Structure 1
Amino acid sequence: MAQDYLKCVPKDGVLEASKAMLQKQLFAIFTTPTDGMAPIFANLEDHLAFQVGLEKDGILFAAGPLWTDDGSHWAGEGMVVVRAANKAEAEAIAARDPMHASGARSYRVRPWMINEGSVQVRLDFSSQTFAVE
């Protein structure tokens, strides 16, 4: 029911309906191979270093590969979620990614608002270990 309602309301209506929730604006970058897997693998090391740099700078929220619809393998697609002031800033971040700068992948940026969800971290004092669940 709520899904049907949200399909027909303007953005400000969604914001009003979820006003008690987080309403954290992030940006999802969907990235797709342009010419097979060889260019992907040729740029993978630089791409991962770029991602780690974004993570260290507090820009990267989450990133990783998207498996094929049947879950059987990876065909080179990925999703990167970044913190940015606006879509133009998120697009500039995406453009700097070595995958995109080299032409190995194309990308699409979409605003994404987080309302619901949770993160669980377990910290064991005795072993001084932690796990993200």
Structure 2
Amino acid sequence: MDAQDNPTAVPADAVREASKAMLQKQLYAIFTKPVNGLGPVFACIEDHLKFQVALEKDGILYAAGPMWTDDEESWEGEGLVVVRAASREAAIAIAERDPMHKSGARSFSVRPWMINEGSATIRLDFSSQTFEIT
């Protein structure tokens, strides 16, 4: 399919084919936002963080954290959670188990996300027993 046929969308397989030399790691991004202010969010924060750590230990959580306001000066309760899952439906099931979502403190949406490019660096200094992730 040519991009000119439908300039707003192309099949995922066409994108995969065009980037076949890339990583093509399929992950799922869970965008989460408060439903009724920050009070309910803070009421669930401890259980939410325990849940996130459990996902991390189980090898499901790829990355997660708060999303700042555009000026990078404050937090309005939004977050991003990226998970390893077999499908979008499986990622939704993971999000539904989060205490934030179970309690109704936050709502969420899930988008499939394919990683093609990027890098991660881990520096481990034995002498000082320190590390840095960039």
Q: TM-score scaled by structure 1?
A: 0.92
For residues 30-109 of structure 1, the aligned pairs below 5 Å read 30-109=31-110
Alpha-carbon displacement from aligned partner over 1:29-75 (angstroms, at most 9, x marks no partner): 00010000000000000000000000000000000001112222000
Alpha-carbon displacement from aligned partner over 1:83-125 (angstroms, at most 9, x marks no partner): 0000111000000000000000000000000000000000112
Question: What is the CA distance between 1:9 and its match in structure 2?
Answer: 3.1
Could you say which residue in structure 1 is the equivalent of 2:19? 18
C-alpha distance in structure 1 between counterparts of 2:35 and 2:10, whole Å: 35
C-alpha distance in structure 2 between counterparts of 1:20 and 1:7, whole Å: 24
SS in 2 for 1:94: helix
C-alpha distance in structure 2 between counterparts of 1:123 and 1:85, whole Å: 32
C-alpha distance in structure 1 between counterparts of 2:10 and 2:84, whole Å: 26
In structure 2, stretches of 5+ residues that fail to align are: 1-6
SS in 2 for 1:92: helix
Percent identity reads: 70
Question: What is the CA distance between 1:8 and its match in structure 2?
Answer: 4.7
Q: Which amino acid aligns with 2:43?
A: A
Deviant stretches of 4+, over 4 Å: none
Q: Which amino acid aligns with 2:78?
A: E
User: Number of aligned pairs?
Assistant: 129
Q: Is the helix fraction higher in 1 or 2?
A: 1
C-alpha distance in structure 2 between counterparts of 1:72 and 1:7, whole Å: 34
2:127 matches 1:123: no
Q: Which amino acid aligns with 1:79?
A: L
Q: TM-score scaled by structure 2?
A: 0.92
